[in-house]
Every structure is written in structure tokens, then in C-alpha cells.
Structure 1
Amino acid sequence: MSNELMKKNIDCAQAEIDKKREEVSQGVMRQKYHFMPEVGWLNDPNGLIFFKGRYHFFYQYNPYDSYWGKMHWGHAVSDDLLHWEYLPIALAPSEPYDDHPEGGCFSGSAIEHEGRLYLLYTSGTDYGEGHIQNQCMAYSDDGITFYKYKNNPVIPSPPEGYDVENFRDPKVWKHGDDFYLVCSAKKDNLAKALLYRSDNLKDWKFVNIFAESRGEFGYMWECPDFYPLKNANGEKYVLTFSPMGVKERTTIYLIGDMNYETGKFTYNTIGNIDWGFDYYAPQSFVDAKGRRIIVAWANGWEWMPWWKDWGPTFKEGWCGSFNLPREVILTDDNTLKFTPVKELESIRESEIKLSEITIDEKKLIPTFDGNVFELMLTVDLAKSSSESFDLNLRCNDELSTIATFDLKRQMLYVSRNDSDNWSCGTTMSPLILKDKNLLKIHVFVDQSSIELFTDDYQTNHSLNVFAGDDQNQNYLSVGEGKLVIKELITWKLEKTL
């Protein structure tokens, strides 16, 4: 009976999507090549997997309105990570353990086993004594229609002493003959990652505190992820999460070693996946090419200007998109870089290329579409005398998003205080500048977002910018001295959604 109720609830949600789809598709802030929902609210990526020859994106979803609400799992598939086909909703609230106005089918992950696709997810509910979260399982043989396991929840509560309302976001994987999942938890107002083991995906046993914050990484780790990577020196393990209660760090990675006998992860490298306001809850998976691909929600709870409203797209009947898929690469010094997937090259159009340019004040960046484009820029540091320069994006006479490259102080700032009369704040990060002669910058601009990569994809800033169509000018500017550009290339990008 329970899965019949879920089917009924999915049908109701699909009817709502069908009713609003055409009107919402006309929104002026709709992205052109970043994944987003047809209608309604999207947040965390869930269950990312390559299954039966296609990429599957699941996502936290409220199909009924463009703000956070009772959570469903949306679902879409693709052959190339760029062009997406929306499928019926995969999971809808339907059971006492997940059917609540401030609960639902929360975040989780996917794994294939013996040809069947399994989803491990958090259920959120309230039986009258406060919110609780526990871990549940659903499965599908065709990757489209899912059934909740009859004996859910498979992990009904965290260990004794942990907050029952902060126990979520299971990431599942297989090692040897056993399945493992890491789950976020909270105890004594400190973040914990808990490790569980199973031999059948149904019966789980607590193993150990996998890793934990002692205050330096906040009070809750949302959407933990864990995986191995190899470089020329061997194999290391990566733990990523989005910490709550840590200023200016939305996504952290730790690199170290895993002891499966004790269930303990130890680390010696700490880094940021992205320094921007809008990169949160990333999840990774391995595709058929063997790439470790990571995708994140292009927003973040602590950065939303709640005192205004949910943002310009909310008024268009949708809210939320994903950042571009990136390949995760372990460098030889055991740090990570995150390169936009190569498939993005397939949507390039109308290339403009300039070489050997000297700028002493201001230079217009030529584009065929100043609102939606890709930019690759190589600065000749050896020939430049300027100590700082600005990359001005999505400009008109009054508004602009400004990325300031402070070469003297080795810092990068991205300000959206004057971007669109709604956004605010400045992100900042160190510049690594390993190469003393060249600085390469790679930028993707979409209708309502900017993603900037530099330092060989180790320093990245992602921000939502709700600029109007008249903000279609882009510039390089220099205060003092000269800036020498070795090469500048722009492409118009094909619409994929």
C-alpha cells in the first residue's frame, strides 16, 4: 500500500509541474546551460550515478513552489552531462517517517548492485516530540520507478547522545565485500561523520566516528562525500562536506588515509573546493570513463539574503541550479583541482581570439553574447607591470561584478555588491601563483551565474548574479602600470536546456 501512496503523490506533483512548465520556462533569469528544475525549488544534488549507460541526476525538490518545502527527489538523465531529459519524480513523501510539511525525502546517494539501483536517503518527520531524521532505502530495476523498502528506516536513529534532528545525508559506497556509508551527525554542538557497514544494503551497523570537528570545522557537516583518488605517488582518500558555522568556507575537502579495520579516516591536507558564495553540498560519482565528477548546488543557506526575499528567480516560479560538473584530480602534491568537464567544449560557438594585447586602462572583452559565454585568458606576468587588475563582468553603465586580481598581495576578490541591485557580498581567496610567468583564468558566464577558475583550477569562485540582459559588456581594467595579455579567447555557448 505504501508504494501506491507514493505513486499517487508523484502523480499529483507531476500534474503541478505540467501545469506550470510553459509559463516558468519563459523566465528571463533561466539558465542556458546549467542544470535547473523545470519548475519549483531545487537544492542539493542527490544520487548522482552513471547507470545503464546514462548519467542520472537526482535532486532535492519542491515541485509545488519556488522555495524550500516538503522534499521530493527530482530526476533527470543525460548522455553528455549537458542536455537533460526530465523524468518522473523518483521519491515523494508518503510514509509516517517522511511525510511531514517540514520533512520529506531528504538528501542521499545511489549505488548499483547486481543490476539494481539503490537509493539511500534521509527521511525527516515529526511524531509530535520534535523533528527527527533517520536513514531509508529505495530501489529500482529500470532506474525510473522506485519502491521504498518495506522495513524502512534502515538506520532508525544515531548512536546514543547524538541529536536526532541532525542525522542526515548518507553517502554509500562498496569496499571489498561490504557496503559502507558515511552520515552527518551532531553531538555537543560539534560536527561528526559516522561510518556504518552492511553486507546487503538493508542491515547496517555503526562502526566508528569516521571524522569529526573539534570546533575548527563547525557544528554540522552537510552532505559528506568520501572516495579514493590516485596520483603518481599512489592512492589517497578524500572526504568533502559543507560545514555549518564556519565563515567564508562553503565546501571543504580533507585528504588522507583510510583504515577499514577501525573505520577511521585520518587526514593531513585541508582545502577549499570553491571560495564562492554559491557552491554547496557537492556530491561526486565515477562515470564510465573512470572520471571522478563532482556537482554542487549553486547556492548556500548561510549566504542567502533572507532579509530581502528568495531572489529574482523565485518570482519566476523557480529557484536553484547546479554548478557545472567538474572532474576531481589529485595533484602530485596531494591537493585537488577541479576542472570543468571536457564535454563543455562541445557547446562552444562563435570563437573570438586575440593575442599579445597591452592594457594600461580599460579593454572591452569581445563576445558574440555578453550575457552567456566562456572566456579563457592568459596573463603574461613577466611582461606586466601592474600590481592589480580587474575583470569586470556583466556590466552596464551602473552595474558590474568585479573580480580583482591583487598580484602584489596574492589575493583574489569577487564583489557582487553592485552586480544587480539584489545580490551583495565579496568573496575572497589566496592566489597560489605557482607559475611566476603566466596566470591563466577560465570563466563561465550564464544568464544568472558566474564561475571563475584560476591557479590551474585550484582556486575557484562561483556566484549567482541576477543581471539584466542590458548588462552585456565585459572589461579588463588596470589602475596603474600595464597588463600584458598573451591570449584571450571567448566563445558563445549553445543553449542546452
Structure 2
Amino acid sequence: MTKQDPYRPLFHFTPPFGWMNDPNGLVYHRGEFHLCYQYHPMDTVWGPMHWGHAVSRDLLSWEHLPIALAPDAAGMCFSGTATADAANRTGLVGPEGGLLAYYTIAAEKSEGDRDFPQSQGLAYSIDGGRRWQRYAGNPVLPNPGLQDFRDPKVFWHEPSQHWIMVVTLGQKVGIYRSADGLDWRFCSEFGEGEGAHDHLAWECPDLFEIPVAGSDESRWILIVGIQRQAYVPGSGTQYFVGRFDGERFVNDNTADTVLWLDYGRDYYASQTWADVPAEDGRRLVLGWMSCWPYANQTPTANWRSAMSLPQTLTLKATDQGLRLHRAFVAELEAFERPERVLACGEVGAGELLAADWPEAARLQLALELAEGSELRISPTGEADFILFRRDGRLGLRSRRRGRIGVAEFDEHYPHDYELDLGAPRPLSLDLLLDRCSAELLLDDGRYGMTQLLFGDSPRRCRLAVERGSLVLEQGHWLGLSRSA
């Protein structure tokens, strides 16, 4: 860490320089995990959108590649998806197969336009994603007359033998299908009156099938981004659990049920990797670690924004129904360095369990709180997670302070809010710290809270019982290092 660049994380993906937002084009292909992303390489604020590109074999060590897609005469390259066309169903990639990238073409605004006119385009690669060729027949899906028509997610649906596209239609998503990936037919839409909405379009949809843990069943998950009114004001990601027949998605829950993938301020536009091998079997997810109200003002150096750490999604039955649970990828264990095992047993008020962790660290606890107790986790002097048991309920309070002298940031970055965790029970806690961020997973990953950490306060991480007592069943913290 240097004085000139104190916030660049050690393990979270960041652009080499310039601005980054949504993850795009997440696909596994021929031994490599591909990560593309919304990218403005000429400045550290949002601007003409390119697709940046990187690859990894372990999801944590990334090799930057040349820009995959750059603006052309048709417009900028907004968010989208990548997938393998192993059988050459498009007729574009030859008998050896290749990669397809579906993206939103954002044309220049005309007078009176609120946003960039949008249609869906296609590019393809036959050399492992090193070079991309735009399809000569673009756009493959013209705009049907909508202001917001973007962020295509495309995948092959084996039961129906069709490609499926899920795309934003304002505050809904549209579902299209195609036999060849080139000619698309509208099937249905979903979202009116369902889940959470604000005054802006849903963004960055994802749709995938996932097993129900411990059963022979599966469900389909639809993920969409909310731009300004998430669990707390700002950007956030909600999901729906339901069924998909190749043409329509049906929500299993009531229309007013709102499920959040993360309850923090800084987790948005999440996408899952396509074409992960069956022998791996994981549904891997990644989110943009920022929040639109202050994303352009975060105090980094010649780069701006980081991705979350890749995580594994699991769908599990709970007392409230089927819910997604998240876990940090197992590949992280190769970088863990044992630091301290915490003494188990009863811990009383005023006891300090740990302090002064490394700049990249992982804390794992299994504990049970007594009534009236509080456990405070302070990644910095200006940010706290407070786990508490009060009036027969468990809860988590997140507080964040810090100002940098920029109006938009200073207005929106600080916060103080609570999350209800339900009836008292033993809890697991998994916290990952990496310079400018904290990712907290609670209750076997059922609840996630991702927060950025900026400000002048030194990184004096502390773990202490503030009130009452708790029983610590298991606890340790680990340093994270790329050196042996």
C-alpha cells in the first residue's frame, strides 16, 4: 500500500486505470474465467462505455487483456453477457465453436432523449476472446420503441432447444427466444407490480436454474438491479425465486415479496458466470462494489471502482421459504495465512477479541448472543458492524462515517441503519476485509452486507463485546497474502 494509492485492494478486481462499473460477459471457456466490465479508459468517471476484459484460472489472480469492445459509429457498448456457442448454432464461429457477446448498442442522443437510444448487438470470437468481431447484421434485436431497453442476458436453454434473452424493458424485463441466436421472438415479460421498484429502470437482469440444496428439485432465479431505492436508499440487487418453461418466468412468492441479494450499500449489477463445467457445479456470482449516488466521487487514485469477491450461490429452504445463500469461493483458501485462533467460551462486556488485523484479512466466527448483548466489529475508526440481540430478536446495525470534501460523496456515503435477522439462534459470521471494502456474510451466507470503507481514519480493526455477553463456539482470523 502506498500513500498515493492507499485504497486499491489486494484481492478484489480493479481496472488498471480509468472507470469501471457493471460486470459483463462472465463466462468460463477453455480453462479460463472471463470477466468483462463497463469501462471508460480515458477518465475516472462514467463516460463512453467500452468492454474491459480480463481472464483468470482461479477467480482471484487476473490477467488484463486488450479492450474487448469499443464504441463505434453505431454507439457505445453498454452492459451484456457472453456465452459459448460450442455447437456453432449461430453459424458464426465455425466447427470448433467460440464465444458470443451480446451487448446493448447505445446510440447518440437526439434532442429530447432522456437516455441513449438502445438496441441489442452481437460480437463473436474464435480465439478464446482475444479478438472480437461485430456481427454484420447488428442490431440483432432492434428497439421496439422503449426508452430503456438494455443489458441482455443470453443463455442456451436445453429443454426448449433455444437461446433465451432476458432484457430490461423499463421497470420490467422481457424474455425473448431464438433458435440461431440471430433472429429473436418476443415471448413474455415479468415485473409489473412484482418486487421492489423506484422511478428508474430495472437493470442488469440475470436468469438461471439452480438446485434446491438437499432435494431433487430446482428453481429458477431472476436477478435485477434497483438503481436508487434498494434496502437502503441507493443501488441494490433483488432476486425472485420461481419457475421458467422456456418462455415465461413465474414468481413462486407473492408479488409484494422483496428478496435482496445483499443488504449493504455497495453491491450492484450482479451477474453469474455462464458455462461453468458440470463437474465444478457451482453457480458463481460477482457484483459491482459501489453505489450510484457517490460512485463517481470515491477517493481513489487513477482508477475507480472494484468488483466484489467472487462468491458461490446456493438455494436453501428456510423458515421463510427458499432463499439464496452466498459463500466466498474456495479458491481464497490458497491465500490464507493463519494469524490467530480465538479462545472459545463465554465472552463478557468490555472484552477485546481481536485488534489490528492485516490490510487484507478474513474473520470467521460461530457464536450465540445473550439477550441485551452487542458485538462490535470495527474495520476502521469510521465504520462499524454491530451484531445485537434485543427484545427477543437478532439484528445487525451498519454505521459509516467519513467525508472527503466532495458534496455528493459527503451527502450520500455516511449511513446508519439496521437489518432484522429474526429469532435468536446460533449464527455464523464470515467477514472479508480488503483495504477499501468489507464483505460480511451472516447465518451461513443467508444475509450479506457489502460496504466500501473510505475516509482518513487508520485501519485499526477491532472486535469487541460492547454489552452483555456471548458464547463463542469457534473463531479465528486469517491474513490474506499473495506471497508464500
TM tier relative to shorter chain: 0.7 to 0.9
Partner of 2:283: 292
Report percent identity of matched pairs. Answer: 32
Partner of 2:85: 113
Query: Which one of 280, 289, 313 corresponds to residue 268 of structure 2?
Result: 280
The alpha carbon displacement at 1:488 in A equals 1.9
Instruction: Verify: 1:79 aligned to 2:57, yes or no.
Output: yes
Partners of 1:123 and 1:455 in 2: how far apart? 41
Instruction: Verify: 1:484 aligned to 2:467, yes or no.
Output: no
Question: Greater shift after overlay, 468-477 or 333-342?
Answer: 468-477
Partner of 1:248: 231
The alpha carbon displacement at 1:242 in A equals 0.9
Query: Which one of 165, 170, 178 corresponds to residue 162 of structure 2?
Result: 178
Partner of 1:413: 397
Partner of 1:201: 181
Question: Greater shift after overlay, 440-449 or 419-428?
Answer: 419-428
List per-residue Cα deviations over 1:391-443 (Å, max 9, x = no partner).
23233xxx23111223124321111125989541134322145x72x221110
Instruction: Verify: 1:335 aligned to 2:323, yes or no.
Output: yes
CA contact (8 A) 1:185 1:194 kept: yes
Partners of 1:76 and 1:389 in 2: how far apart? 42
List per-residue Cα deviations over 1:97-144 (Å, max 9, x = no partner).
21xxxxx11000011012210000011122634330111000001111
Mapping of residues 142-291 of structure 1, within 5 Å: 142=127, 143-158=129-144, 160=145, 162-163=146-147, 166-176=148-158, 177-186=161-170, 191-213=171-193, 216-218=196-198, 219-231=200-212, 232-248=215-231, 250-260=236-246, 262-268=247-253, 270-286=258-274, 287-288=276-277, 289-291=280-282
Cα distance 1:265–1:215, how it changes in 2: closer, same or farther (>3 A)?
Answer: closer
Letter in 2 for 1:128: S
Instruction: Verify: 1:428 aligned to 2:418, yes or no.
Output: yes
The alpha carbon displacement at 1:484 in A equals 2.7
Partner of 2:41: 63
Partner of 1:43: 21
Partners of 2:441 and 2:288 in 1: how far apart? 17
CA contact (8 A) 1:420 1:465 kept: no
Number of positions where the alignment pairs a residue of Structure 1 with one of Structure 2: 444
Cα distance 1:150–1:427, how it changes in 2: closer, same or farther (>3 A)?
Answer: farther
Kindly report the root-mean-square deviation, in angstroms, between the aligned alpha carbons of the 2 structures. Answer: 2.4
Normalised by the length of structure 2, the TM-score is 0.86
Instruction: Verify: 1:441 aligned to 2:421, yes or no.
Output: no
Cα distance 1:75–1:247, how it changes in 2: closer, same or farther (>3 A)?
Answer: closer
The alpha carbon displacement at 1:368 in A equals 7.0
Question: Greater shift after overlay, 229-238 or 44-53?
Answer: 229-238
The alpha carbon displacement at 1:340 in A equals 1.0
CA contact (8 A) 1:277 1:427 kept: no
Q: Name stretches of at least 5 consecutive residues in structure 2 with no aligned partner.
A: 87-96
Cα distance 1:247–1:238, how it changes in 2: closer, same or farther (>3 A)?
Answer: closer
List per-residue Cα deviations over 1:15-59 (Å, max 9, x = no partner).
xxxxxxxx9995111101111111011100001010111101000
Partners of 1:155 and 1:351 in 2: how far apart? 54
Instruction: Verify: 1:390 aligned to 2:362, yes or no.
Output: no
Partner of 2:94: none
CA contact (8 A) 1:192 1:213 kept: no
Cα distance 1:214–1:350, how it changes in 2: closer, same or farther (>3 A)?
Answer: closer
CA contact (8 A) 1:370 1:394 kept: no
Cα distance 1:28–1:245, how it changes in 2: closer, same or farther (>3 A)?
Answer: closer
Instruction: Verify: 1:348 aligned to 2:336, yes or no.
Output: yes
Partners of 1:271 and 1:25 in 2: how far apart? 40
Query: Which one of 306, 314, 317 corresponds to residue 302 of structure 2?
Result: 317
> 3-state SS of the aligned residue for 1:312?
coil
Partner of 2:311: 326
Cα distance 1:229–1:326, how it changes in 2: closer, same or farther (>3 A)?
Answer: same
The alpha carbon displacement at 1:215 in A equals 7.9
CA contact (8 A) 2:402 2:454 kept: no
The alpha carbon displacement at 1:192 in A equals 1.1
CA contact (8 A) 1:285 1:294 kept: yes
CA contact (8 A) 2:231 2:260 kept: no
Partners of 1:427 and 1:123 in 2: how far apart? 38
List per-residue Cα deviations over 1:376-399 (Å, max 9, x = no partner).
112134xxx35231323233xxx2
Normalised by the length of structure 1, the TM-score is 0.84
Partner of 2:93: none
Partner of 1:362: 350
Letter in 1 for 2:135: Y
Partners of 1:108 and 1:299 in 2: how far apart? 19
> 3-state SS of the aligned residue for 1:278?
coil
CA contact (8 A) 1:136 1:155 kept: yes
CA contact (8 A) 1:394 1:467 kept: no
List per-residue Cα deviations over 1:264-301 (Å, max 9, x = no partner).
43331642110000000000024221211010000121
